[in-house]
């Protein structure tokens, strides 16, 4: 699967309208067998912005592509300077009520799995099990030469030591952990090589323009086949990496339900789209199912 920097899409005039009625979602969760597909919108209440919602980062920031990152040293210097600064804020983010509700649904046996498009690790931090990180995780770093993995915190320590005094003020933090910095602020930031082979290090996340592994995609397809229904939380479904699983669910007769304040590319496939903040909506549903959060 190839990720492309799709910035936006335009709903048709006959796009289904949203609702604030949570009953269909509550009924689906009460039945069990639900597969969660989550996007950046579930993490906004943890202080991490989304890509395409109101004030989303794509209105001012285009993520670096895999091709840019691998093509030049200057591009990697820019990426790692921005990402190193963003990590300080991103790494301190904590699960919000939405993440905690999803974890509670899982503890009560209502979910088959969680597929997340996010790279922040907040579902796991909240206690969710069987989480598939579709686009990887910022917690890990991979060497593009030898394929070895290492903890992001270890690299952060090395970058801090190599760039003493690097402490610019970022204009904003983005959903991928990147911070908005000017070229002047990036300066001559020093990038660290792999400890084992001196190769190029990259966060273990899928960049725009990079392939999601076929094995991971097939695993997600299997989860869709095994689910009773699919519940989309906080994703615009603009890119095919998530939308394809919604389409698969519909093609196999599985109902799709969406909670997202803005229209999504999957609305026409869904039984309903609930336009409510995720923390509020999921907490309300938990109460209706007599499930304790936290």
Does the annotation flag 198 for ligand binding? no
Does the annotation flag 51 for ligand binding? yes
∠ Cα 12 14 18 (to 5°)? 100
CA distance 123 to 98: 9
Does the annotation flag 220 for ligand binding? no
Count Cβ neighbours within 10 Å for each residue of 160-193 and write b for 16 or more, e otherwise.
eeebeebebebeebbbbbbbbbeeebbeebebbe
Does the annotation flag 40 for ligand binding? yes
Does the annotation flag 49 for ligand binding? yes
Does the annotation flag 137 for ligand binding? no
CA distance 257 to 262: 14
Does the annotation flag 242 for ligand binding? no
Does the annotation flag 50 for ligand binding? yes
Does the annotation flag 39 for ligand binding? yes
Does the annotation flag 98 for ligand binding? no
Is the Cβ–Cβ distance between 63 and 178 less than 8 Å?
yes
Does the annotation flag 47 for ligand binding? yes
Residue 84 annotated to the active site: no
Does the annotation flag 41 for ligand binding? yes
Does the annotation flag 176 for ligand binding? no
Does the annotation flag 273 for ligand binding? no
Which of these is catalytic: 84, 99, 123, 135? 135
CB atoms within 10 A of CB 198: 12
Does the annotation flag 278 for ligand binding? yes
Tell me the binding residues for NAD(+): 39-59, 117-120, 234-236, 278
Binding site members for Zn(2+): 143, 146, 194, 197
Would you list which residues are annotated within the binding site? 39-59, 117-120, 143, 146, 194, 197, 234-236, 278
Active site residues: 135
């Amino acid at each position: 699967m190839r990720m492309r920097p799709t910035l936006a899409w335009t709903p048709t005039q006959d796009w289904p309208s949203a609702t604030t009625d949570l009953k269909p979602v509550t009924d689906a969760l009460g039945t069990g067998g639900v597969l969660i597909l989550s996007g950046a919108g579930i993490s906004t209440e943890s202080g991490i912005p989304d890509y395409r919602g109101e004030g989303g980062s794509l209105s001012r920031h285009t993520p670096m592509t895999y091709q840019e990152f691998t093509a030049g040293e200057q591009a990697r210097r820019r990426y790692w300077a921005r990402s190193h600064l963003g990590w300080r804020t991103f790494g301190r983010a904590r699960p919000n009520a939405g993440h905690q509700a999803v974890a509670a649904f899982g503890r009560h046996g209502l979910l088959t799995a969680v597929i997340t498009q996010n790279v922040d690790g907040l579902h796991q931090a909240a206690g969710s099990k069987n989480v598939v990180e579709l686009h990887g995780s910022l917690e890990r770093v991979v060497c593009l030469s030898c394929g070895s993995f290492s903890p992001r915190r270890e690299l952060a320590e090395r970058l801090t030591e190599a760039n003493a005094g690097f402490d610019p003020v970022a204009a904003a933090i983005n959903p991928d952990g990147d911070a908005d910095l000017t070229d002047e602020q990036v300066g001559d930031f020093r990038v660290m090589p792999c400890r084992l082979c001196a190769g190029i290090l990259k966060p273990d996340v899928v960049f725009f323009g990079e392939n999601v592994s076929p094995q991971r995609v097939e695993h997600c397809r299997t989860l869709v086949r095994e689910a009773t229904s699919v519940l989309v939380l906080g994703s615009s479904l603009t890119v095919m990496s998530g939308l394809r699983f919604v389409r698969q669910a519909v093609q196999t007769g599985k109902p799709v339900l969406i909670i997202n304040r803005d229209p999504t590319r999957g609305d026409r496939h869904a039984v309903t789209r609930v336009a409510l903040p995720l923390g509020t909506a999921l907490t309300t549903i938990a109460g209706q199912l007599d499930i304790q959060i936290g």
